[in-house]
Structure 1
Amino acid sequence: MSDRTRARACPERTCVGCRERSGKGEMLRVVLVEGECVPDHRGTLPGRGAYLHPTPTCVDLAVRRRAFQRAFRVPGPLDTAKLRSAVPRETP
């Protein structure tokens, strides 16, 4: 038997808001459902996904930069109400 440890490689994803890389488990997957950005907590919804840190700062950055439109390859504004309600607001 080998002395090597069998550590699984954790896939990394880039946040569409802040553009920083993090482990897939630390990110929130977002998918497009009928023109609306929907959080995919289990990671099982079909379609193209965009990854985001689950913080209000990253959500705001992604919306301001129109990152969801680029990630999902669609024109025009997208509804982010469900996504914003799923991300907890920071308390001072």
Structure 2
Amino acid sequence: MQSKAQPLRTCIGCRQSAPRSVLLRLVRDPEDPQRVVVDPRRRLPGRGAWLHPDRACLTQAVKRRAFSRAFRGAVEHAAVDDFFGTAVLAPARTVTVQAESGSEI
């Protein structure tokens, strides 16, 4: 008996195709359309995006600004960050510290 072929979806982070059972479905929060949430049961209404359950893919998606493209507008992805147990932030700025006057040798 052959197993049923699953539809393929593309991860918004790494852009690799995979069976949808391997990926997490992301949707706009029904209560707050500016927020993206993970849909573990894959049943919430609305446009979905797919992401590997891997922090590297999440980081790539944030870096590539894939969330706003996938959901066709600016969205907040903090709930997805929380799902992964990490906060993916913008790259830190380098701060130059000036030596105090008289402390140079």
Q: TM-score, normalised by structure 2?
A: 0.73
Checking the alignment, whether the CA contact within 8 Å between 1:52 and 1:59 is kept in structure 2 is yes
Superposed displacement of residue 6, structure 1: 3.8
Distance in 2 (CA, whole Å) between partners of 1:55 and 1:88 is 11
Which structure 2 residue ranges, 5 or more long, are not aligned? 87-105
1:4-43 mapped onto 2 (5 Å cutoff): 5-33=1-29, 34-43=33-42
User: Is the strand fraction higher in 1 or 2?
Assistant: 1
Q: Which residue of 2 aligns with 1:87?
A: 84
Distance in 2 (CA, whole Å) between partners of 1:73 and 1:18 is 19
Provide the identity percentage: 42
Q: Which residue of 2 aligns with 1:48?
A: 47
Q: Which residue of 1 aligns with 2:96?
A: none
Equivalent residues, number? 83
Q: Which residue of 1 aligns with 2:102?
A: none
Checking the alignment, whether the CA contact within 8 Å between 1:16 and 1:51 is kept in structure 2 is yes
Q: Which runs of 4+ in 1 moved over 6 A?
A: none
Checking the alignment, whether the CA contact within 8 Å between 2:67 and 2:77 is kept in structure 1 is no
Which structure 1 residue ranges, 5 or more long, are not aligned? none
Q: Which residue of 1 aligns with 2:89?
A: none
Superposed displacement of residue 54, structure 1: 0.9
The higher relative CO (CA closer than 8 Å, separation ≥ 6) is in: 1
Distance in 1 (CA, whole Å) between partners of 2:34 and 2:59 is 18
1:37-76 mapped onto 2 (5 Å cutoff): 37-74=36-73, 76=74
Q: TM-score, normalised by structure 1?
A: 0.82
